[in-house]
Amino acid sequence: MRKDGNIYIRLLSLDDVHDFLQFEKNNQDFFQTYTMKRSPEYYTIEFQGDLFNEKIEKAKNDSEYNFGIFKRDNDELIGTIGLFRILRGPLQSAIVGYSLSKDHNGKGYATEAVKLVVEYAFTTLKLHRIEAGVMPHNIGSIRVLEKAGFEKEGISKSNVKINGKWEDHQVLAIINPDESSL
């Protein structure tokens, strides 16, 4: 992946497991507001090693791609971004999801990462549409997506269980402008 901004993204590998686990532990309370409940087992190296092996296999099968977000100046893992539920055939679509360390929020890194993953999805994977879902009160994340070119499409009612409660999600999407490449 290109490295011409403040951050770069690259597919996560088994070499990243320890850094990823530390990233998750450091942000556990911060992420809890926006993610499903995690078992204590999730925060073990064994669990993460198994999870990473699954993620690597999914990339090989073109069904999911998990990237780390790294600071360009020191290669620090500061977040993750992924393309999930990749559908081929007439849909050519995916869902994007991301998380960024609490210490690196508000610096434009998430917007940069979303733009990079959209570029990858449209040019390398030849996808037509990328969708995202965000809790309506998560204004910062909605702004990230809008700055990256996503447009609001509507509200999905009670569609994701976050922190033990079913939450509505604002749906946003971006369409590949280069139809000739599809």
pLDDT of residue 182: 55
Q: Sign (positive/negative) of CA torsion 28, 59, 131, 177?
A: positive
Residue 38 in any domain: the answer is yes
DSSP code per residue over 44-70? SHHHHHHHHHHHHHHHHTTS-EEEEEE
Taking the C-alpha atoms of residue 157 and residue 150, their distance in angstroms, rounded to an integer, is: 20
pLDDT in tens, the chain (182 residues): 455 689 999 999 999 999 999 988 888 777 766 666 777 887 889 999 999 999 999 999 999 999 999 999 999 999 999 999 999 999 999 999 999 988 898 899 999 999 999 999 999 999 999 999 998 888 999 999 999 999 999 999 998 887 778 988 999 999 999 876 65
Residue 72 within a domain? yes
In this prediction, residue 161 carries a pLDDT of 81
Domain coverage including residue 143: 7-181
Q: For residue 33, what pLDDT is reported?
A: 65
Q: Does some domain include residue 1? A: no
Q: What is the pLDDT of residue 160?
A: 81
Total domains present in the chain: 1
CATH number assigned to the domain comprising residue 35: 3.40.630.30
Secondary structure letter of residue 141 according to DSSP: H
Position 59 in a domain? yes
Q: Is residue 45 part of a domain?
A: yes
